[in-house]
Amino acid sequence: MNPTQQQEAVALLRRLMDIDSTTYAEGAVGTYLADALRARNFAVELMPVPQPEGSSSTAERFNVYAAAQPGAPLVTFSTHMDTVPPWIASSEDEEFVYGRGACDAKGIIVAMILAAEQLRAKSLPVALLFVVGEERDSAGAKIANEQPRGSRFLINGEPTDNRLALASKGALRASVTATGKMAHSAYPELGESAIHKLVQALDAVLQVALPVSEDVGPSTLNIGLLEGGRAPNVIADEASAQVLVRLVGPSEQTRAELKAAAAPFAEVDFTLEIPFVRLKAMEGLPTMIAAFTTDVPALTNWGEPMLLGPGSIHVAHTTGERIRKQEMWDAVELYVQVAERLAASVPGEQTVEQSDAGVAGPGPGA
């Protein structure tokens, strides 16, 4: 990429970042992205995604699918448009772009668009799928999975430092709820504190020995939210906590042990599970294990998955989120290389550059 193309790419990234697209409010960034892709001669379709049940929001949200050529893509690049709160406006210096979504995952969106344009010029059948809701429940990916386009391979983008992920941990979300009886705090014997029960339940949960995978590492547990009580001088009649376990295998044993640990004090309800997955490798590329969860398990109808993207997960979801510009340019080249290697692995699939006759080979299923 020449300096002018790089400047234009950074400008596109910053425009995307300066649109607040916190989960459930992705409509504006989706509209901007769809228009930008049409201007780049992609055939764009929108996939409406409803707000979650019980939501008070009626804001429009949708996935954006963009095809580089007619027909089924051989490779689909996919990542998410939504970000975690709070929104942080973009800024940059010579080396980095800073702000919410820099690496998770709007920098990845830009790298994928640039790679898709290069692959289109080589007549490799390619498409883009940008979804909503990844940071909460993969709602956009689930909707997309009901509308597959015949893609043979899926390259999902998350911040992996441009290393190919060999596995991605799953997620098990649980609500731990304790109930009690209100009373005046001067007479605790007349009440029953739900908060005291919850504290005991969470202490027991933290003592559970979680599974460990030799090549992936341990399951981990985070108590992310605590709620409960009425006032400092009132014995609490209700209290709850939200717990997230990162899975390295099946969840059945972990579910049973968490329930048993909390049982004397509180109830445990499991509200979301995204399974642990192992992913496609490619010889010669640096690798890593993703300790985080992705949309990959929800996109099973979009081809054999790979997980790869620029940026560090260690700065995602932080006030210091950033992406190194050079890492974005490297990602463009890497995405092109991986897609071409995938095409070469499919009998009869050729790009213009690979074909002796200078004509693209037959597409998938030909």
Do 263 and 286 lie in one domain? The reply is: no
Do 161 and 174 lie in one domain? The reply is: no
Classify residue 351: in a domain, yes or no. Answer: no
Do 65 and 102 lie in one domain? The reply is: yes
Do 102 and 221 lie in one domain? The reply is: no
Coil, strand or helix: which one is 336? Answer: helix
Do 289 and 260 lie in one domain? The reply is: no
Q: CA of 105: how far to CAs of 19, 121, 255, 273, 313, in Å?
A: 13, 25, 31, 22, 10
Do 162 and 305 lie in one domain? The reply is: yes
Quick check: 309 and 159 in contact, CB under 8 A?
yes
Given the residues 26, 92, 134, 135, the one annotated as active site: 134
Do 48 and 136 lie in one domain? The reply is: yes
Classify residue 60: in a domain, yes or no. Answer: yes
Classify residue 349: in a domain, yes or no. Answer: no
Q: Which pairing describes strands 238-247 and 164-168: parallel, antiparallel, or unpaired?
A: unpaired
Do 152 and 284 lie in one domain? The reply is: yes
Classify residue 119: in a domain, yes or no. Answer: yes
Q: What is the number of structural domains in the chain?
A: 2
Per-residue pLDDT of the chain (366 residues; tens, 9 = 90+): 899 999 999 999 999 999 999 999 999 999 999 999 999 999 999 999 999 998 888 899 999 999 999 999 999 999 999 999 999 999 999 999 999 999 999 999 999 999 999 999 999 999 999 999 999 999 999 999 999 999 999 999 999 999 999 999 999 999 999 999 999 999 999 999 999 999 999 999 999 999 999 999 999 999 999 999 999 999 999 999 999 999 999 999 999 999 999 999 999 999 999 999 999 899 999 999 999 999 999 999 999 999 999 999 999 999 999 999 999 999 999 999 999 999 999 987 655 444 443 333 333 333
Do 136 and 202 lie in one domain? The reply is: no
The CA-CA-CA angle for residues 62, 66, 68, to 5°, reads 180
- CATH number of the domain bearing residue 36: 3.40.630.10
Which residues, 6 or more positions from 363, have their beta carbon under 8 angstroms from its beta carbon?
A: 71, 72, 74, 125, 349
DSSP-assigned beta bridge partners for residue 95: none
**Domain boundary pick from 250, 274, 298:** 274
In angstroms, how far is CA 153 from the centroid of its own chain?
Answer: 18
For 28, the token pair is 């504006």
**Long-range pairs of 185-190 with CB within 8 A, sequence gap ≥ 24:** 185/232, 185/233, 185/234, 185/235, 186/233, 188/235, 190/235
List the beta strands (DSSP E) in the chain. Answer: 43-48, 62-67, 75-80, 91-92, 96-98, 126-131, 153-156, 164-168, 170-179, 212-213, 217-218, 220-228, 238-247, 267-274, 277-278, 287-290, 304-307, 322-324
95 as an active site residue: the answer is no
Do 31 and 142 lie in one domain? The reply is: yes
* Domain coverage including residue 135: 3-168+278-344
- CATH number of the domain bearing residue 191: 3.30.70.360
d(CA 199, CA 202): 5
Do 255 and 216 lie in one domain? The reply is: yes
Do 53 and 184 lie in one domain? The reply is: no
